[in-house]
Amino acid sequence: MSDKWRNWGRNQKCSPDQFKTPNTSDEVAALVCLGVAERKKVRAVGAGHSFSPLCPTDGIMIDVGNFSSITHVNQERMQVTVGAGIRLFNLNKQLDLLGLALPNLGDIDYQTLAGAISTGTHGTGLGYHSISEAVIGLKIITGDGAVLECSTEKNQRIFRAARVSLGSLGIIIEVTLQCVSAFNLRATEQTTNIDQILELFGEAITRADHTEFFWFPHTEIGTLKINTKTLETPSYRSPYKAFLSDEIIANGGFELINRYAKIAPHRAHRILRKQLSGDRKISYVGPSYKVFCSKRRVRFVEMEYAVPLDHLLEVFGYVRKVTNQLDRPITFPIEVRVLGADDIPLSPAYGRDSGYIAVHVYRGTRLNPYFQLVENIMNEFGGRPHWGKVHTLCGRELADLYPQWDDFQSVLEELDPDGHFSTPYLDRILRTSD
């Protein structure tokens, strides 16, 4: 049988027995019950933007993309109920029309809402949290085909676990979000010496709303990005400059460099260094969701770990060292972000302010030794992997990293004791402790 499904990064694929795109909760329930009756695993799939093998199954794959409408708005409380399969870019536009926004976003808006919250997808900012933190209610189709409602007020124990649950508890079909009033951000992006950025970073994360930086391996060049809430009106770039920067250089040019790097890595990296040379700084104002999110057309595979914030720059120093020692140069920048502590059991930021370090390689590129060297460093500092990205940890190792691991396990045992929604990957990370 030919492969019927591949993820965005092209590193995961599967041939499910059935691939379905239901339109109603009853249709989802019927598919779940069919899977249980025929002893076939059932998995939800969204945009396929996870790089870990969360979705691949030989059972029944359910695409929730048809669940993409806003079904209820409480304008006074700024609460919105929406289908779980809506893409973030569509959700952001619809919220903006309502005068609302999510308080924090990552730099990619390709994912479905359900996929983003299930994996703990996040942006940056010490006073902010992952998208899952904005969730105040969920509807889930469980293994018996029933619709389970949980929220901050109902089935609270299940709700706390379900906000980051890797699709292991059932099929999420509806999400209620606590939004904020739409707001603008002033973005400042400064490309300069990486050591200068490191000196500025510690103060910047405490003073600015959203701070992150990128370092370009095998160079002394980095980019510091600071986004700050503002009452200023948007100052849009000209369409020509935006197209030149976002499409021609950041995507088209970078794609060509990465293709060339597969056959001539050192020459390709010299071209990249030349493009990056020279200090520069840009600043502009825009609606939050347009500033947070960037176009990412160059496909890649990623690993990201969250470490205690106090150790972030120390860990980055080790990552920088091992990356520079690689024989084959890395073309993708390393991304560093921060996030405030939360109380979601399987959130990588559970109970601690966290620094996130993400490493990427171009699609089809060998991951190791790069990823393994970086992961070894993360393990030395109690790093927790992003659930939607590549890692090699198993349940025993993960259990030691999450203080409320057993609480999540009790909810998993209650809702899916027989593993109807599991996969070999989920069995490894959630259902084994040896």
The model's pLDDT over 355-397, given as tens digits with 9 standing for 90+, comes to 999 999 999 999 999 999 999 999 999 999 999 999 999 999 9
Residue at token pair 């025993």 = 396
Percent share of the chain, pLDDT over 70: 95
Alpha carbon distance, N-terminus to C-terminus of the chain = 34
Cβ atoms of residues 234 and 182 within 8 Å: no
**pLDDT digit string (tens) for 73-82?**
999 999 999 9
Residue predicted with more confidence, 296 or 334: 334
Q: What distance in Å separates the CA atoms of residue 31 and residue 42, rounded to the nearest whole number?
A: 8
Record the pTM.
0.96
CATH number for the domain formed by residue range(s) 184-385: 3.40.462.10
Structure confidence at residue 286 as a pLDDT band (50, 70, 90): very high
The number of CA neighbours under 13 Å toward the Cβ of 227 is 28
Residues 6+ apart with CB under 8 A from 150: 137, 138, 140, 156, 158, 159, 162
The arithmetic mean of pLDDT across residues 264-284, rounded, is 92
Closest Cα partner for 134 from 72, 73, 180?
180
Is the peptide bond prior to 385 cis by the omega test (within 30 degrees of 0)?
no
Q: What is the pLDDT of residues 201-247, one digit of tens each?
A: 999 999 999 999 999 999 999 999 999 999 999 986 666 566 556 66
Q: Record the tokens describing residue 240, joined without a space.
A: 């020509």
Classified as helix, coil or strand, 174 is strand
Ordered by start, the domain boundaries in the chain are 184-385
The predicted pLDDT at position 1 comes to 42
Number of helices and strands in the chain (H, E): 14, 20
Average confidence (pLDDT) over 138-150: 98
- Tens digits of residue pLDDT in 81-119: 999 999 999 999 999 999 999 999 999 999 999 999 999
In a 13 Å sphere around the CA of 164, the CA atoms on its Cβ side amount to 27
- When mean pLDDT is compared across 125-139, 175-189, 224-238, 393-407, the lowest value belongs to 224-238
pLDDT score for 165: 99
Residue found by looking up tokens 């010299």 in the block:
270
Query: What is the rounded distance in angstroms from the CA atom of residue 235 to the CA atom of residue 218?
Result: 35
| Average pLDDT of every residue of the chain | 95
